[in-house]
Amino acid sequence: MINKSPVGDPPPPPAVRARGLRVRRGAAQVLKGLDFTVERGSVTGLLGPSGCGKTTLMRAVVGAQARVTGDLRVLGAPAGSAALRHRLGYVTQAPSVYLDLTVRQNLDYYAAVLGIPRAERARAVAGALGDVDLTSHADALAARLSGGQRSRVSLAVALLGTPELLVLDEPTVGLDPVLRRDLWALFHRLAAERGATLLISSHVMDEADRCQRLLLMRDGRLLAEGAPAELRERTGAGSVEEAFLRLVDADRARESENGESENGEGDR
């Protein structure tokens, strides 16, 4: 149960399955051959320091990233397929909402884009607003909201179409502790009640224990994959943060031993 369960593709394919995932940006290799699986219905945390490739990995999963090689399947289909656009919710790191529209007008537009019929739109919008606790600001212009409120509007957009896979890029950064707790409760509710899968990135290690499974990244590679308790146990650390640091140290030691030979065979 550590990782890479050698599946013969059971009935529901995993939410995300990557084999040899590589991404190039300019001359740099940003993702250097990742293998991982995100199980259906799980709340999976993607953790690692800033600049380690978390956003690139998420963009690859939602099909927004160019120059992706390797095998990346999302809900059983190749990442970026047109059929997936109905089934994914993606929240970018910077809130992608229209500042010159009200909160409700933002959600109303995205609901129309997602194909929610006109008659059901108001209800879907009200539901998403309630989920992120912004009902009282529905008619405020997004430009007038605080940064935290804007990122919640951005999150609400992703909740509109009841997606099967939610890819959230640092959704809780800059929010106060109460709100963060409420949002994590919401994430777990989405997984438990709607059966949604959530892939959530963070560079704040104390959020790790709120996830069922973790993917720890460093410098474009995957250091470890597993449940928080499992990672602590495996490294003999008291916290996920400590476990991460131990893994980094071990990784560095291995690097200097091998003389940095992690860049494998060439790709296109």
Partner 1 sequence: MTVTRTLATARRVLRQLGHDPRTMALLLLVPVLLLVLLYYVFDADPGRFAFIGSSLLGIFPMVTMFLVTSIATLRERTSGTLERLLTMPLGKGDVIAGYALAFGAFAVAQAGLATGVALWLLDLDIAGSPWLLLLVALLNALLGTALGLFVSAFAASEFQAVQFMPAVIFPQLLLCGLFAPRDTMQPVLEYASNVLPMSYAVDGMTQVLRNAEVTGDFWRDVVVVSGIALGVLALGAVTLRRRTP
Number of residues written out for the chain: 268
Cβ at position 202, least distance to partner 1 in Å? 19
Q: Contact between 122 and partner 1 (CB under 8 A)?
A: no
- Closest to 68 (Cα-Cα) out of 58, 93, 201, 38: 58
Q: Are 86 and 111 in contact (CB under 8 A)?
A: no
Determine the Cα–Cα distance for residues 256 and 252; give it in Å rounded to an integer: 6
Q: Is 81 in the site for partner 1 (CB under 8 A)?
A: no
Residues numbered 12 to 41 that lie near partner 1 (CB under 8 A) are 25-26
Q: End-to-end alpha-carbon separation of the chain, Å? A: 33
> Between 66 and 250, whose beta carbon lies closer to partner 1?
66
In the list 80, 179, 237, 262, the residue contacting partner 1 (rule: CB under 8 A) is 80
* Selected binder of partner 1 within 14, 36, 37, 90 (CB under 8 A): 90
Quick one: 40 or 85, whose CB is closer to partner 1? 85
CB within 8 A of 22, min separation 6: which ones? 29, 31, 32, 33, 34, 68, 69, 70, 267
- In 149-236 the beta strands, taken as DSSP E runs, fall at 165-169, 197-202, 213-218, 221-226
- Scanning 12-20, 96-104, 225-233, 252-260 for contacts with partner 1 by CB under 8 A, the matching segment is 96-104
Closest contact distance (angstroms) between CB of 161 and partner 1 is 8
- For residue 163, the minimal CB distance to partner 1 (Å) is 10
Residues 165-204: x where in contact with partner 1 by CB under 8 A, - otherwise, as a string? ----------------------------------------
Among 82, 139, 177, 261, binds partner 1 (CB under 8 A): 82
Interface size with partner 1, residues (CB under 8 A): 34
Q: Which stretch binds partner 1 (CB under 8 A): 7-15, 82-90, 238-246, 251-259?
A: 82-90
Q: How far is the CB of 239 from partner 1 (least distance, A)?
A: 33
Q: Which is nearer to partner 1, 141 or 248 (CB)?
A: 141
Q: What CA–CA distance (Å, rounded) separates 21 from 33? A: 5
Residues 98-117 that bind partner 1 (CB under 8 A): 98-102, 105, 109-110, 112-115
- Kindly state whether residue 62 participates in binding partner 1, applying the rule CB under 8 A: yes
Phi, psi of 212 (to 5 degrees): -80, -35
Residue 154 CA to residue 166 CA, distance in Å, equals 12
State yes or no: residue 144 binds partner 1 (CB under 8 A). no
- State the Cα torsion 238-49-78-224 to the nearest 10°: -30
* Long-range contact set of residues 205-209: C-beta below 8 Å, sequence gap at least 24: 205/47, 205/239, 205/240, 205/241, 205/244, 206/241, 207/45, 207/47, 207/172, 207/180, 208/45, 208/47, 208/240, 208/241, 209/240
Contacts with partner 1 by CB under 8 A lie at 25-26, 62-68, 80, 82, 85-86, 88, 90, 92, 94-102, 105, 109-110, 112-115, 141, 157
